[in-house]
């Protein structure tokens, strides 16, 4: 067997013994990448190779066995994984620096009854111990290894035979088989490849931690997404306490589940019932506050939307949001201007979702719109009312998914009235409820309902 260095065009696959700037066959620039090619099997050897290998099997005859998942003893984490860690699976947890990835993973390591090897390339053993002390948990089943070279990590895994390996983080690892420096795409891909192969061959589950930067540009981990089995994203605003663990890809379960945590001084607390937590106590005298009955993943929860509208102090009015898409807010402001006749173009508009949590649910629209109107008019919204509706460009209130669930949740938490789209008339007939359901079809109706009656 011989090894050769070749340059391959990543566009058309043309091969050259030397690097070329412009590919002579497809005319593309800068597409040649150095690759090591192992070739020259003798023709007879090749022929004998061709006869062996895997045989095709009838799909109906394939035996399946349900794999026993490893319970992480963390309800929220289990939920996102789809019921626990699958043996031999590789999970990537991505998130911005400081969001709590290391805290989450050490907490799992301390909680889980299986022996866990926590490999850290970022912190010293004493720093990890300090963190564990902070969480006030200890375990005789958690081993800590401070090491960055994959060639040294693999023998340690073989020797200690853990039931779970955690690598914090993939960006700090390096392998001798790649020349480039740690953190480069080649190193990350190479290290991950070795670990993933090891996990599959030895049936050891591995959790990889990867950093992403503010603009979501995951230079390293992005290339890993197709290599690993599960990709989870840990998100939230690091100046707030709530964190959401979201499934982005899951070969063994759904990606529509989310896990919710609260960052306390002694670690992450699981938020199993997110309902009441996201609402701050407010009374009937505060304008600019409204409550949305939202659904994130498969779970309903009730969140508070706060808005402040004030005259722009400096020339250009500002639009600033936390936890809500600024473009979406701009669209809602345009609807308010055109369909309800408000002048907001000379006003600053600030919008926060309480708790700093980011919710991708179109049903938030109606609540956002009402919070903005309430602040602009300085008329408070009754604190026992909540909202669930999408707002269209013509100012119509559109139906939203899982409306029954939203109504039930709002009722459970103690709301007296929920405002939804008129189009839900049929769905709502079938549910028994004590909450007052108000159905509207246009933003003018909502406006009259909430703000005009009081002025009479």
Q: What angle do CA 84, 72, 195 make, to 5 degrees?
A: 75
By DSSP bridging, strand 32-39 and strand 2-9 are antiparallel
Per partner kind, with CB cut-offs from 5 to 8 A, the member of Mg ion, ligand TYD, none near residue 97 is ligand TYD
Minimal distance, residue 131 CB to ligand TYD, in Å:
5
Per partner kind, with CB cut-offs from 5 to 8 A, the member of ligand TYD, Mg ion, none near residue 380 is none
Name the 3-class secondary structure at 278. coil
- When the beta carbons of 134 and 249 are compared against ligand TYD, the nearer one is 134
Out of 72, 78, 91, 102, the only residue in the binding site for Mg ion (CB under 5 A) is 102
Candidate ranges 27-35, 70-78, 98-106, 125-133; the one touching Mg ion (CB under 5 A): 98-106
Candidate ranges 26-34, 100-108, 256-264, 407-415; the one touching Mg ion (CB under 5 A): 100-108
- When the beta carbons of 173 and 368 are compared against ligand TYD, the nearer one is 173
Question: Environment class of residue 336 by beta-carbon count within 10 Å: exposed (0-12), middle (13-18) or buried (19+)?
Answer: buried
- When the beta carbons of 102 and 367 are compared against Mg ion, the nearer one is 102
Minimal distance, residue 363 CB to Mg ion, in Å:
34
Minimal distance, residue 278 CB to ligand TYD, in Å:
19
By DSSP bridging, strand 90-95 and strand 230-236 are parallel
Q: How many CB atoms lie within 10 A of CB 343?
A: 9
Minimal distance, residue 105 CB to Mg ion, in Å:
8
Per partner kind, with CB cut-offs from 5 to 8 A, the member of Mg ion, ligand TYD, none near residue 216 is none
- When the beta carbons of 102 and 293 are compared against Mg ion, the nearer one is 102
Per partner kind, with CB cut-offs from 5 to 8 A, the member of ligand TYD, Mg ion, none near residue 131 is ligand TYD
- CA quadruple 161, 228, 148, 123: dihedral sign: negative
Q: Which residues bind ligand TYD (CB under 6 A)?
A: 95, 97-103, 131, 134-135, 263, 265-267
Per partner kind, with CB cut-offs from 5 to 8 A, the member of Mg ion, ligand TYD, none near residue 103 is ligand TYD
Closest CA to 267 of 233, 246, 243, 296: 243
- Judged by CB under 5 A, does residue 171 bind Mg ion? no
The runs of H, that is alpha helices, within 37-98 are 43-51, 75-81
- Please check whether residue 210 is in contact with residue 171, taking contact to mean a CB–CB distance below 8 angstroms: yes
By DSSP bridging, strand 2-9 and strand 289-296 are unpaired
Q: How many CB atoms lie within 10 A of CB 47?
A: 10
Minimal distance, residue 122 CB to Mg ion, in Å:
6
Closest CA to 312 of 320, 304, 301: 320
Q: Give the interface with Mg ion as residue ranges (CB under 5 A).
A: 102
């Amino acid at each position: 067997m011989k090894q050769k260095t070749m340059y391959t065009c990543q566009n058309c696959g043309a091969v050259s013994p030397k690097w070329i700037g412009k590919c002579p066959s497809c005319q593309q620039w800068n597409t040649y990448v150095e690759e090591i090619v192992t070739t020259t099997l003798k023709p007879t050897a090749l022929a004998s190779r061709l006869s062996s290998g895997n045989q095709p099997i009838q799909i109906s005859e394939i035996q399946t066995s349900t794999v026993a998942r490893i319970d992480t003893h963390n309800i929220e984490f289990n939920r996102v994984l789809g019921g626990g860690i699958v043996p031999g699976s590789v999970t990537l947890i991505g998130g911005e620096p400081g969001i709590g990835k290391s805290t989450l993973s050490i907490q799992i390591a301390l909680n889980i009854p299986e022996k866990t090897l926590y490999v850290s390339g970022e912190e010293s053993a004493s720093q990890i111990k300090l963190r564990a002390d902070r969480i006030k948990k200890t375990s005789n089943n958690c081993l800590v290894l401070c090491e960055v070279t994959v060639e040294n990590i693999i023998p340690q895994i073989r020797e200690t035979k853990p039931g779970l390996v955690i690598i914090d983080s993939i960006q700090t690892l390096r392998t001798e088989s790649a020349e480039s420096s740690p953190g480069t795409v080649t190193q990350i891909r190479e290290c991950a490849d070795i670990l993933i192969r090891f996990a599959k061959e030895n049936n050891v589950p591995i959790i990889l931690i990867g950093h992403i930067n503010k603009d979501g540009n995951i230079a390293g981990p992005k290339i890993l997404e197709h290599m690993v089995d599960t990709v989870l994203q840990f998100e939230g605003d690091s100046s707030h306490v709530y964190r959401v663990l979201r499934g982005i890809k899951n070969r063994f379960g759904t990606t529509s589940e989310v896990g919710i945590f609260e960052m306390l001084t002694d670690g992450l607390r699981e938020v199993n019932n997110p309902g009441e937590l996201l609402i701050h106590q407010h009374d009937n005298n505060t304008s600019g506050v409204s409550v949305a009955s939202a659904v994130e993943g498969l779970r309903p929860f009730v969140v508070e939307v706060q808005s402040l509208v004030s005259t722009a102090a400096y020339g250009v009015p500002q639009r600033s949001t936390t936890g809500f898409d600024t473009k979406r807010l701009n669209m809602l402001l345009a609807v308010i201007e055109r369909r309800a006749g408000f002048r907001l173009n000379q006003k600053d508009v600030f919008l926060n979702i309480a708790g700093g949590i980011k919710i991708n649910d179109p049903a938030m629209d109606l609540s956002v719109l009402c919070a903005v109107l309430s602040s602009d008019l300085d008329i408070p919204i009754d604190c026992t009312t909540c909202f669930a509706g999408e707002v269209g460009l013509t100012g119509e209130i559109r139906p939203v998914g899982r409306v029954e669930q939203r109504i039930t949740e709002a009722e459970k938490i103690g709301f007296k009235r929920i405002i939804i789209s008129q189009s839900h008339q049929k769905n709502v007939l079938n549910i028994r409820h004590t909450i007052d359901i108000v159905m509207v079809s246009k933003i003018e109706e909502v406006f009259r309902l909430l703000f005009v009656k009081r002025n009479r």
